[in-house]
Structures are given as structure tokens and as C-alpha cells.
Structure 1
Amino acid sequence: MVQALFIHEMERFVGRTRELKKLHDIDEESEPSIVIVYGRRRVGKTELLEQAFRDRNILKFEGIEGLSEAEQFANAMRQLANYVQDDLLNKVNIKSWSEFFDIVAKYTKEGRWTIYLEELQWLANYEDKLISELKYAWDNLFRRNSEIILVLCGSAPSFMLDKVVHSKALYNRSQHEIHLQELNILDTKSFLKKRSDREIFNAYLTVGGVPEYLKWLDKESSVFLSLCHNAFTSGSFFSREYEKIFTSSLANNKHYQEIIETLSKHKFLSREELATKLKISSGGTLSTLLTDLDKCGFISKYHPYNLNDGTNIIRYAIADNYLHFYFNFIKPILTNIANGDYDDAPQSAIKMDSYAKWLGFAFERWCRRYNRLIAKILGFSGIQYRSGAFFSRTTNKKDPGYQIDLVFDRADNVYTICEIKYLQSPAGIKVISDMEKKLSLFPNKGNKTLHKVLICNEGADSSVLERAYFDQIITCKDLIEAS
């Protein structure tokens, strides 16, 4: 008798409506299917798959980081022996994944089975041999059961895309793909249901919409106290998470961390600046490394909104919220944290004014990423537009740090220019002079109408409202309600 994996219904499972519907539709199709799921560490892949398929018979085989191929074989056989309650399988010395799949197929010939390969990059040791052998097993064994679902899940997006999604071995074989992203801000509000809008945004800007991270920010009376306790005490979760991210998401290559650590010291860098600082060629090797980090969601590249993707004016920056926080506030005092210097008063490890300023930069990044939401609030989401930050070679010469945070170049002959602030109180009159300074260097080609927008978490005070300078003002409440 096979004792499949038992999954409890998860009380704190929020969001993922689109992904759950897709997985339930696959379940109801009653045809053999391959589901490929990938995303960064801690984003909730396992919870999604287990909750979606908990009414099915699940055989889950999980790879372990650092094991050799032979050790992965032995570990997979141990897991299978537990499911089928047969200790003799522990003594079977398989030499290939084909042998393993042959054995698994004997137990999954009939019924609603889900064969779930977790942390596939470790099972496969970052090579494509497992996928090649899986092709034969799928074509000749597994798909004979019309109710079977094969799940291939991994925390290394570059591996999952290059070796699995784009693999010729699995091409055109009832394949479904889910790139699981972070929770959005509305789902984060549901997750942190007792928190104020301000605390919800503070949490999101600090660690992103990563469910496992958000849990750690909901353990004390405030998000801030939870953050301090779980970032600045010895052995704390966030102080130890950094090294684990690279272990699960990328193959062992020192250059990945070198790029992240170099970018952590700058708001952004060009490709040439990165190559110079890393002392490596600006050619193909660097391209591959940057692409892999981009696929993992750790960095992003952006260019002026008015130039196409082929432009040479590209800036690279860290995109992951947790990594931003780690490099700014944890890494500089990591030795002190390990020594327990802040155990009695962890909030003393961070200066509130520095944290508040940092949240402002994080909010700018968030607004650029969710530009479609902002367009929806402003009422022109149905109009074609290009959006992004604005800077140019000319502005770089006049003011090297110049940048308009967010510009919408709209097809209806309008530029929507956004000034973005994240403050402790409503924006004061200075926000107008800040905007005017930026507009003085903005080239209004075609003499389009300028639509001036203030995006500020706390809105604006009476001195700004009385001037009626901004055409529209967006607050955090507006952003959450529109999500």
C-alpha cells in the first residue's frame, strides 16, 4: 500500500487566485500534464502546489543541496521507500534516473497521482541529464495514466528556464508553466490583516511580498519591532538568509555574489562601470551572469523610458527588497549581530532617519514596477504609453544624480510626470520646488501637455493643496484599494 503525502489545509494561505485556478483547471482536464513552477526562494511555491493538489495522491521527491548524483539517487529511493512502506527499496542501488522513474511508474499506473520533483536544480545537479531521462519515462510510462500530473519545481529560475522550460526533451508535452511572483500589496494586506496601511507598505518595501519573510514581520506588536528582533539579534532569520538565497537560486559561482555586492554600494551602475569594478570583460560572461541574476529577480536593468531595449544607456540595480535591506542595515554590523551586541535592544541597531530615507528609495522602485496600477488610478490605463525613469547623457553631464522617478509618455499627447515621496507626514511646500527643478531639465518634445502627479504615502499638506500645483495626488490607501 502506498502512503501518499498528507497535506493539511493551510489557514494563512492568501492570494494566488490566478495560479490556483490554473492548477485546478489542469487537475480537472483528466489528461496527463507536466506543470513547471519556478520562482525565488521563500516565495511560496511549495505551499501553492501542495494546497492546489492536496486532494490528489502526492509523491514528493525533494533534492538536497550539495549531494552528488549517487547521493541524490539514494535520497530519492529513501523517500520512495517511505511512501510505499518497503524498506527493501532502501537497498536498491540505482545508477540512473531512468531506473528511478521505472520504479515510481509501477506505483502510479492508475489513479489521481501527482509526482512532484522539488528543488529540481539540486536533484539534477544543475545538469540536463535528469530531464533527458525523464522524457523517455514520460512518453513511455507516466502519460499512460490519463490522471497523472508531473510537477517540476525549482528555486533557480535560470536553470528552470534554460534546462527545463526551453528543453527540447519536454517540448510540446502537455506543458504548463508558472513563474511564481511575490504577493501583491493587496494580498499582503490580507496576509498582515491586523496592520495599518503604513505598516503594510513598510513591510512590503522592506522585504517584498515574500510570504515567509512577511511572517517574520508579524510576530511583535509592530512591524518595526518584529523586523528589529528578527534582523539584529544573534542567529536571527534575516541576518542568516542572505547566504541561503544564493545556495538555492544559483549555481556555485562567486561572480554572482560579487555583482550583487558591487551593486549594493551604488544606487545603480552601467554595464561598463560594473565590468570595471569587477575587473572582468564586458562581454558574454558578464551578460550571462546579469541575465541569470535578472531571471532570479535579484537585479533589474532599466533605461530611459524614451529609448528602446537596444540602447547602450542602461542602468543595473538591485531589485530584491530584502537584499536592499540586508546590504544597507544588516551587513555593515553583521559581526556585532553575531556577537549578540543588540540582543537586549535590537531596535538600537538601526537609525530611524536612515531607515525612513531608505524606504523612500524603495517606494520609488515600487512605483516604477507597478506603473500599470498607477495608470489605472490616474484613469489612462486604456491609453498606450511608455513609462519609466527619465535621465540622459545631457542630464548626466549637468547633474550626475538627476532622475525623474517616473514618466508616462502617453499616446494621447500627454506626459504624466510623477514626483514620488515616502514621508512620515504629508508632503510640504518643498515638494513643488523639487518638481520644478526636475522639470527644468526635462525635454518636452512635441510640446505635449504636462500632467503633474504627486505620489506620497501620506498625501500633501494644506500648503501644497492650496497651491493646486499637482493635477492629482495618490496616497498609499489609493494604491492598496486599486490593487
Structure 2
Amino acid sequence: MEQEAFVGREEEIKQLRALLKKRSASFVVVKGRRRIGKSRLIEEFSKNRKTYKITGLAPEPNTTKQDQLDEFAKQLSAVTGLPEIKTDDWSKLFAFLAREVKTGQVLVIFDEISWIGSKDSAFLAKLKNAWDDLFKKNPKLIFIVCGSVSTWIDDNILNSKAFYGRISWTLELNPLPLADCNRLLKAHGFRGSTYEKFKLLSVTGGIPWYIELMQGNFNADENIKRQCFLKGGALFGEFEQIFHDVFGKQDQVYKDIVEALADGAAEYKEISKKIDYKSSGRLSNYLTALEKGGFISKDFTWSLASGKESKIAQYRLSDNYLRFYLKYISPHQEKIKKGHYNKGGLPNFINWDTVMGLQFENLVLGNREKILELLSIRPEDIISDNPYLQKQKTRHKGCQVDYLIQTKYKNLYVCEIKFSRSPISAKAVDEMKKKIRALALPRGTSALPVLIHLDGVTHSPEIKDYFYETIDFGELLY
């Protein structure tokens, strides 16, 4: 059977391969959003290597500690070829596994570790003891734990005193950069135009599994209709699965938060008011969990005069799939279930100029490294870079900048992100001038206007002469 194409993650594979040369055992943590490709990365790394992989049972209300123990034992028997053992003690299962991996180059993988251990408060202590007393005695062993519940991994492993000094390497997977998204689309037979590809990315973001759902024998609209607006489409049911699997019993609060951010960024107090949830440490924890899970971003603004981070921060729904679901799939769930959109093209409420606005901004901000490269800005020269919010005060007006980059050389790159199918008019110059006039610029600072667009800037002298740089974002696909 032909194996599915593996695209990207070259740096992550390189980091994992470096561990093969270590002269002591390695404890590795891999985390990231659901569907980001953690298991697929580990599978690629473990290819042609002796591997023992165990995956936890997905969380269900009736799943017990014993269910997880029994499933672990079944998988352990399958990968070792030895008889299945019955036990109510993790220590016995770890010891059984340790005997099989005590010598030679070997990988041990616990996939979705939060599922495996969440029903037993003693699980982590026993795992820590098994690592200290058994697993790490094989200097060629690489032990990998991974999972989608990033807060559980942070709280129970990365920030736990029990595992302090034991973690050899941590990998946090982010969405694929644009060039890798394009390579993955090509690997799955999609050969559409730049505009067509950005339609797909406005729905999938850089999430590998979502991109892999797109078939080359359909155009972008057909792919999106099939996956989002037909009852059997994977992206029709994915939203509920995310919140059920990752956030469990508290899923409704998390849903309320992302829904509050679907129309644009908001500050903490605005979110509290929108979802009618008291401002508290618990709400902060929910926001942190969504941020660590890769679904929202917390964008701090900063003082242009001092360069110091401000207390002002906006939360942004940085996950394109979640926003597309909330804005365009969720309101029409019942019609989708009844098959109202089975025939014809995409539903008529999909207007791509409207859809692509915030989605395009997310793609730009998620690929800011390439923007910096195109502007010849070295990371070490940056004071701060983020979406920027300046609140109105007595001395200056309020304004918002899509993406602002401040460097130590007193240059301020004021980036306007515009998605438009039609050529962008000279009106963009007037809008940018207004923003720059409103900014409270420190003395001696030069404001450099930058236009980031997709396929179509008018060649009028005003646009060409005014902007310091115009960047066709579509070129980053190639």
C-alpha cells in the first residue's frame, strides 16, 4: 500500500534525529493543536526504527481508569507479540514494556498521553518512577509523549516538579507555512490558481489534516461544499469533536469564548461581557487553554516610546477553521443535516470577499517570518511586532494597525493587509496616511507604509510611489 505523502516539518525531523546521536536516553514532549500532525510527524521519524506505540482511548463519559489500563495492555500485547496481561496497576504495565526495550535503539511512544493518564491521579508518579528506574537505563531509548490537550501536558509534565530535569526536548507544532501548504495541496492533486488555494486556506488554515481532505478532482468551491456543507463532510462535524476531545466537560465555555471572537479581536473585559462570564482567574485559565491549544492568539500592544509591552492585549481567533465554522456552517446546521445544499454549488451566503477579510489577516500574521524576510528585517533588530491598538487620549487619536513592526533603528513598518479580487485603488494611500498621522510617533522615528495584498494592486503612480514596499502574499506559496 502506497504511503501518504509527508510534507514539511523538516526542522522538527532534524531536531528529533539529532537525539539519535545522544549517549543517554531521551524524554521528548510533542504538543500542538488537534489535527496539526503530531502523530504523523512521529510516524515519519520512527520509520524503519524499532518502535512501540501506545495510544490512549478517546475520552467518553463512561471511560474508566481500568478501560485505559486494559486498552494499554491490548496494544502492548499487539506490539510485543507477548500474551496480554490483566492488571489494575500502571507500574506493572510499565515494567512489562521496559523489559522489551531495555537494549538497543528503540522508540517508545505514548500518543494522547492525557487520555491515557487522566483517570488515575497516580499515573504520572508511576510514569516518573518507571522513567527513572527502568526506561532511562537504556541509553539508546527515545521516549516520546504527545497530545492535543496542551494545558494538561504543560501542567502535568512540562511544569511539573516530578519531571523537572528529565525532559530532553520539547516540540510544539504550529500550522504549516504557506509554501508547505502549497506542497501538500499539490501532493494531493490540487492544481488550482493562487486565488483558489487561498480559498481553501481561508477554511483550513495551515492544518495538515484539513488540507489533506481537499481532492484534486474538485475545484476549491466543490471541495469546501463537500467538506463543510454536506452532512458527511469531515469539517461539518469537526468543531464539536475538537471541543469534546480537547476540552471535555467545560466545552461550552470554550465555545462561547471563540464565538465571541468570531467577528474580530477583543480585550479581556469585552469577552467577559460578551459571554456573560464573571471576570476571574477561571476565565483567564480558559483563555490560556485556548491560546496554548493553538486556537486563539493574545496580541499585546506596546509603547512606541519605550518599546515596553503594554497591559493592553487583544485576543484574536487565529484559527481559520473555527471562524469559518462559526460564521458560515453553524448557523445553517439544520439545513445541512436535511440536505438542503446537496445539489448545486456553494450556498449563496458565501461571499469570498467577505469571508477572506479576517482569514487573510490570520494567514499573513501566521507567516510573519516571511514578511520580515521580504522586508529585510532581522529578528534580532525587532523591538516588537504585532497587530497594534492605540487607544484615544488627549494628545492623540485612537487607531488600529493590521501589523506593526518596530525596529531598534527607529523604523516603524506600518503594514496594511488587504484582500481584494479587484485592483486596490489609490484610496489605500489616503487610509494609510490617516493611520500614520494618528500614531504617536517618537521623535526621529520613520514610518514606512507597507501594503500586503493578494493578486491585484493597481499600477497607479500614487500606490507605487507612496508605499515603501508592496508585497504580493500569493508569491509566498511558491
Q: TM-score, normalised by structure 1?
A: 0.90
The match for 1:124 is 117
Alignment of 1:70-149 (within 5 A): 70-86=66-82, 88-89=83-84, 92-125=85-118, 129-149=122-142
Q: Bigger CA drift: 277-286 or 99-108?
A: 277-286
1:68 partner letter: T
Alignment of 1:23-42 (within 5 A): 23-42=16-35
Q: Bigger CA drift: 435-444 or 181-190?
A: 435-444
Work out whether 1:175 is the aligned partner of 2:174. no
Alignment of 1:12-411 (within 5 A): 12-64=5-57, 65-66=59-60, 67-86=63-82, 88-89=83-84, 92-125=85-118, 129-173=122-166, 175-193=168-186, 194-253=191-250, 254-264=252-262, 266-306=263-303, 311-352=310-351, 355-381=352-378, 383-394=381-392, 402-411=399-408
Q: CA deviation at 1:470?
A: 1.4
SS of 2:310 mapped into structure 1: coil
1:458 partner letter: D
Q: CA deviation at 1:346?
A: 4.6
Work out whether 1:424 is the aligned partner of 2:421. yes
Q: CA deviation at 1:398?
A: 9.7
SS of 2:466 mapped into structure 1: coil
SS of 1:164 mapped into structure 2: helix
- Whether the 8 Å CA contact 1:305–1:389 is kept in 2: the answer is no
Q: CA deviation at 1:83?
A: 2.5
- Whether the 8 Å CA contact 1:258–1:278 is kept in 2: the answer is yes
The match for 1:3 is none
Q: CA deviation at 1:384?
A: 2.9
Q: State the distance in 2 between where 1:467 and 1:311 align.
A: 34
Q: Structure 1 pair 350/27, CA: closer, same or farther in 2 (3 Å)? A: farther
Q: CA deviation at 1:174?
A: 5.3
Q: CA deviation at 1:209?
A: 1.0
Q: Structure 1 pair 467/63, CA: closer, same or farther in 2 (3 Å)? A: closer
Q: Structure 1 pair 397/200, CA: closer, same or farther in 2 (3 Å)? A: farther
- Whether the 8 Å CA contact 1:30–1:146 is kept in 2: the answer is yes
SS of 1:146 mapped into structure 2: coil
Q: State the distance in 1 between where 2:340 and 2:271 align.
A: 35
Q: State the distance in 1 between where 2:356 and 2:397 align.
A: 23
- Whether the 8 Å CA contact 1:372–1:381 is kept in 2: the answer is no
Q: Structure 1 pair 294/325, CA: closer, same or farther in 2 (3 Å)? A: same
- Whether the 8 Å CA contact 1:34–1:175 is kept in 2: the answer is yes
Q: CA deviation at 1:463?
A: 2.2
Q: Bigger CA drift: 467-476 or 147-156?
A: 467-476
1:132 partner letter: A
Q: CA deviation at 1:182?
A: 1.3
Unaligned residue ranges in structure 2 (runs of 5+): none
- Whether the 8 Å CA contact 2:397–2:439 is kept in 1: the answer is no
Q: State the distance in 2 between where 1:415 and 1:115 align.
A: 49
Q: CA deviation at 1:124?
A: 0.9
1:81 partner letter: S
Offset from partner CA, 1:262-296 (integer Å, 9 cap, x none): 222x3122211222233333221111111111101
Q: State the distance in 2 between where 1:423 and 1:155 align.
A: 35
- Whether the 8 Å CA contact 1:454–1:472 is kept in 2: the answer is yes
Q: State the distance in 1 between where 2:394 and 2:290 align.
A: 26
- Whether the 8 Å CA contact 1:428–1:464 is kept in 2: the answer is no
Q: TM-score, normalised by structure 2?
A: 0.91
Q: Structure 1 pair 288/126, CA: closer, same or farther in 2 (3 Å)? A: farther
Work out whether 1:412 is the aligned partner of 2:405. no
- Whether the 8 Å CA contact 1:305–1:388 is kept in 2: the answer is no
The match for 1:4 is none
SS of 2:222 mapped into structure 1: helix
Q: State the distance in 2 between where 1:300 and 1:419 align.
A: 19
SS of 1:462 mapped into structure 2: coil
1:249 partner letter: V
- Whether the 8 Å CA contact 2:426–2:463 is kept in 1: the answer is no
Q: Among residues 454, 458, 466, which one is paired with 1:457 in the alignment?
A: 454
Unaligned residue ranges in structure 1 (runs of 5+): 1-7
SS of 1:249 mapped into structure 2: helix
Q: CA deviation at 1:332?
A: 1.0
Percentage identity across aligned positions? 28
Q: CA RMSD in A?
A: 2.5
Q: Structure 1 pair 25/105, CA: closer, same or farther in 2 (3 Å)? A: same
Q: State the distance in 2 between where 1:356 and 1:460 align.
A: 15
